Structure 1
């Protein structure tokens, strides 16, 4: 079962997922960084590239969306992209991957409408039931419900009343029909939004797996209680930030470091680059009590379990190469590989574990849906020509707002903050002052981090600012 810690006060919303007493996943939402995965647009094909078997689609974003030939509903083996779409064609697409770096969002014409209990795929003529539902009676009942095709029944259906499942099926059908009715809107046009933060969260974290939610926003308690039950929701009312109080902030700081220490004294070294992530396993302080082979196996087994958690926590996607400590025994290699596969079952992001190469490197790929935790919270360091990373200006601005929110109800009228012009601009443009009871005055700094220099009356701050 899972415990969710929700830091919803302030403009940046943060939700931490704890499993077995450890931070397993982090959801971040910033108002100026709208997540568009799941959104459906009516766009226009602006370029067709037969050499890449892909097309670019204008969906109204800064960068054109990328559409592969294989992601077209009309795709047939052997057909060229130029036979399937043409420049200027209007087309309905759904975003499956956020824009990253220089690349625009990735889209598909195979539209899906995900719900709590089912996923509706209007173009599909078949229905399927999650393998996790093992009750044959329930499986047959669900398949009968979806006999007209197009539904994938999630594991949450196993304990849900059939009436609730039917109601959601009808709602998703209506949504799809309404989308078709709106498909004549001028392009580019947003036809369907992927809904609220909570809706997206609980599509990935089933409510039946949540034992407790601790949230610091009183207005959110009612909606959460309706989703998971009143008994499982607690309002956090202390002055200290909820993430600090429950140790989540410290775990986030650790998740941004390259070295991860394991309980037995061994450690992982995680190197993220633009093209791939390399993870090196080291024995460190762990010497074992038996043979060298036994020490190596135990270290690699502990590493496999922790690597699965780190990939999910850091939201690392793309190609991943894991350099376990050399194992001469093929049985030990397969044991470690299977342990990693088993530990990854909790991860809702599709991940594939291949085999060991001739050099003993285990190859893994994890679907990249959005930016990694590091890329969300940090930026390249200008002082070292991009060789290192520092807290980004956005992260500093939201952190400053959270710290100043703790001064609600105090006698302080104003605060003097030293920070970079970039942090000041984000603080101003995102209107972070509006939620605060203290007035913020700035002085410039070359540092990427902010520093609170003084708090007091407006007159005191104005004098110190001069």
Structure 2
């Protein structure tokens, strides 16, 4: 499999695209006006404690107060025992026993503000490096589940136990550490210990609402988190960013530094790989399949739904085979679209009904296989009695659509508009209401050209009847500035 990372840098926006076998799989965007805050550590103040929610709202200097649940607060009694210690008997501590209003607290953002919700916080801090995640308040020594070789897992766990050296601090070994020499991980441990020393010193001197620690900018973060041995090259179109990335790579991943290239071509790098076209397609609800079928993806506040349709695909044998082939292709497409569109939360997939249990199993396995390359944590459940597949995908940032788009001003985000016919009868009712409330010899209705055309050309008889019924003259005026659902009834 060929994999490349493309980095497009402009003064106010940076975009990172992950391209596998010529197809866009992931897109990450960071804008100067709205940088993500996941991973940042702040000194906050507890603003309000909500016992009914077992949570608190914490002021950390963002536009909205952030949310801290009791389960995300480091329990003082367990701070020295680590996450591998058995939980104490009895009910978990209540939010009132953990924090109080006005308390200063050091917290880390685990989820960006999304929609109307504030950021999600934790006091269980974690600091990532190239190969490790450092857990200063835990004794856990874990290895990424994506490292499947048991010999490698055992080696890495023994090495981390040695490097931790009874410090009472924890580490999680990241996927990138597979096959790395002991010295590379030892260097990461030394770097993380230095970073932790700086954070601890800053925590004591920083004022409430200020940032103590900030994660790397997107280009550096992309190289740290996404660059692996199977990545063929990283191409960046900014000389300044290229130099920063090269310096970073030489320090932290010297064996991969030569794969970073500066792209100096005249044609925009995203155009060269067709990424801009893929981004436009990722904004559409309908996703065509090669077989002739298609997906319909609907993102709502509560969940994302994916509907699979055969479309024009007729198949070669019988209906069951046609459905099976379409669902197999759809499962692969769904896995890619979730990753590309960064869709998270609850996801419901309505595959075309299948009667064969083995076909269902194969479709589910195809979906799970497609999700293996996804960096976000996913959980897929079996087919429900209604033939639906329910799954979740961890959401830490806004979806691609919500980063790039806003609700339609004309329809208020509904995705539909009232028809000219519906608006015609609504206007007739408003005219009647106005005449009964106020004195007027005649009325003027100002509306969009499409609605006025509907009324004057197709409903002229109804207008004449209304004028006779009310005893008033009614004039209509089209205005290009009026949206389809906008109109005014003026009394003259």
TM-score range, shorter chain: 0.7 to 0.9
Is the contact made by 2:4 and 2:232 (CA closer than 8 Å) also made in structure 1?
Answer: yes
Q: Secondary structure at the match of 1:83?
A: helix
How far 1:133 moved relative to its partner? 5.7
Distance 1:122 1:272 in 2: 38
Match for residue 320 of structure 1 among 334, 339, 347 = 347
Match for residue 138 of structure 1 among 139, 142, 155 = 155
Aligned to 1:358: 385
Q: Deviations over 1:138-174 (max 9, x none)?
A: 3333443345341111222223232221111111112
Aligned to 1:241: 268
- The within-5 A match list for 1:191-230 is 191-226=212-247, 227=249, 229=256
Match for residue 190 of structure 2 among 164, 170, 176 = 170
Distance 1:204 1:265 in 2: 36
How far 1:241 moved relative to its partner? 2.1
Distance 1:356 1:341 in 2: 13
Q: Secondary structure at the match of 1:156?
A: helix
- The within-5 A match list for 1:103-122 is 103-122=117-136
Is the contact made by 1:216 and 1:235 (CA closer than 8 Å) also made in structure 2?
Answer: yes
How far 1:215 moved relative to its partner? 1.9
Match for residue 411 of structure 2 among 381, 384, 396 = 384
Is the contact made by 1:204 and 1:348 (CA closer than 8 Å) also made in structure 2?
Answer: no
How far 1:16 moved relative to its partner? 0.8
Aligned to 1:42: 43
Aligned to 1:345: 372
1:156 to 2:200 alignment: no
Worse overlay, 238-247 or 271-280 = 238-247
Aligned to 2:320: 293
- The within-5 A match list for 1:365-404 is 365-388=392-415
Match for residue 114 of structure 2 among 89, 100, 105 = 100
Q: Deviations over 1:77-105 (max 9, x none)?
A: 43221121111111111000001121110
Aligned to 1:71: 72
Q: Which runs of 4+ in 1 moved over 6 A?
A: none
Worse overlay, 132-141 or 85-94 = 132-141
Q: Secondary structure at the match of 2:401?
A: helix
Cα gap change, 1:242 to 1:206, in 2 (>3 Å):
closer
Gaps of 5+ in 1: 390-444, 448-466
Cα gap change, 1:143 to 1:306, in 2 (>3 Å):
farther
Gaps of 5+ in 2: 77-86, 417-479, 483-492
Is the contact made by 1:215 and 1:221 (CA closer than 8 Å) also made in structure 2?
Answer: yes
Worse overlay, 241-250 or 30-39 = 241-250
Query: TM-score under structure 2 normalisation?
Result: 0.76
Q: Deviations over 1:149-208 (max 9, x none)?
A: 411112222232322211111111122222222222321221111122233223431332
Worse overlay, 74-83 or 22-31 = 74-83
Is the contact made by 1:95 and 1:108 (CA closer than 8 Å) also made in structure 2?
Answer: yes
Query: TM-score under structure 1 normalisation?
Result: 0.80
Distance 1:141 1:376 in 2: 41
Q: Secondary structure at the match of 1:285?
A: coil
Q: Secondary structure at the match of 2:203?
A: coil
Aligned to 2:18: 17
